[in-house]
Structure 1
């Protein structure tokens, strides 16, 4: 195949994924996010490798974007509840310390277990659905009675069994770099960013709708 053919292959695969995308899982994830926000709970998010980088982006978006005006010219009123969002991948010092002291399989569960409550939402991103550190933290969240969301691909792995809502990115790939054990991984990572953007936008709409009556009564 030529380079152009490979590019078209990637885009064709992406279109097929979009057409088959499990929108109901996004809907249910949004409902859990709303419940967590309304309860004053905390969102904890985790992933490995490139997924951890995407969660740094998500941390910025979830923490700030729903709470600025539509044109981004000003924050909304300080009286409007903000979302508590913890990026468990965010600190290199913390992660390296936990790995050094407790081992890589406990790096996320050790951060979550002392704090997670039934008011919270734990979001897990694992392409295989079997990453030991992600699975162990989900087990802790389930034991605590927290809401749980996972995003995976393939058969969903252990995450599919543990999470209240598990979004499994559909499809398979023939594109270079995401075949074999890495099947569909680029598309999974692309979809992860899209799902986070959908959830941020839906939360922004909910926050704006809730704030509208207050603005109307105080012109």
Structure 2
């Protein structure tokens, strides 16, 4: 998850990272999570994941297109910040390794994984261009850039999507509630409403569905 300002979290059993407004937080009294809070969170999780239902055909289409491109020598570039960076690396691992069944490795590059490279680019060119430079270096026409952002407003992801489209890549995004700037900068987007944890969890489900669709191609 990205950085938060003071007051964006409350302490529950010494762990200050549960977001204001979620059932685990609002049901906490005296530092103890009250009965029913977990059930409430699970209900919110189910409702968040349900938002993927209208995107079934889009995920299948993404999987078919991406599976074909990767097996023909194309690349998937994946980018994100914070928890979304971890999910970007997870997706690349599923494709370079395997998801549910053995297959040939598929060329996927998690841009957040190159920490020394990213910090060098950010130091010389600024954080806004960190992923854009990586897209310029790795991306080729008809490759795919998938950006993950719970806010849809990360400037470095916006810049990367713009560069990707200018170079003939497809720019896809998984974001939080739309409309948002990254959605507008991308060719296609899956947008999920909810708190940061719920959006990230829904993105992970979308990633696994995408992997399953790729494996079927």
Report the TM range for the smaller structure's normalisation: 0.7 to 0.9
> How far apart in 1 are the matches of 2:36 and 2:179?
30
Bigger shift: residues 139-148 or 110-119: 110-119
How many residues align? The count is 184
CA root-mean-square deviation: 1.9
Can you give the 5+ residue segments of structure 1 that lack an aligned partner in the other structure?
173-183, 207-219
Q: Partner residue of 2:178? A: 155
* Offset, 1:38: 4.1
Give a deviation string over 1:5-49, Cα, whole Å, max 9, x none. Answer: 321221111222233323233223223312422432110000000
Q: Find the residue that maps to 2:58 and give its secondary structure.
A: helix
Listed as ranges, the matches of 1:90-105 within 5 Å are: 90-105=113-128
Higher mean alpha-carbon deviation, 141-150 vs 57-66, is at 57-66
| Counterpart Cα distance in 1 of 2:199 and 2:140 | 29
Q: Distance in 2 between matches of 1:44 and 1:188?
A: 21
Aligned to 1:65: 98
In structure 1, what is the Cα distance between the partners aligned to 2:196 and 2:172? 19
Q: Does residue 4 of the first structure (1) align with residue 27 of the second (2)?
A: no
Q: TM-score, normalised by structure 2?
A: 0.77
Report runs of 4+ in structure 1 exceeding 3 Å deviation: none
Q: Deviations over 1:72-109 (max 9, x none)?
A: xxx55xxx5x4211110002211111111111100000
> Of Structure 1 and Structure 2, which has the larger fraction of its residues in strand?
2
Shift of residue 141, structure 1, vs aligned partner? 0.6
Q: Does 1:53 align with 2:81?
A: no
The aligned residue for residue 45 of structure 2 is: 14
Aligned residues of 1:29 and 1:149 also touching (Cα < 8 A): no
Distance in structure 1 (CA, Å) of the matches to 2:192 and 2:141: 27
Please give the residue correspondences for 1:176-215 in structure 2 after superposition, counting only pairs within 5 Å. 184-206=195-217
User: Residue 197 and residue 64 in structure 1: after superposition, are their counterparts in 2 closer, same or farther (change >3 A)?
Assistant: same
Contact 1:130 1:159 in 2 (8 A): yes
> More displaced, 11-20 or 88-97?
11-20
TM-score (normalizing by structure 1): 0.77
- Cα distance in 2 between the residues matched to 1:32 and 1:204: 12
Preserved CA contact (<8 Å) 1:46 1:124: yes
String of CA shifts for 1:131-155, please: whole Å, max 9, x gaps. Answer: 0000000000111121121000112
Structure 2, unmatched stretches of 5+, are: 1-26, 29-33
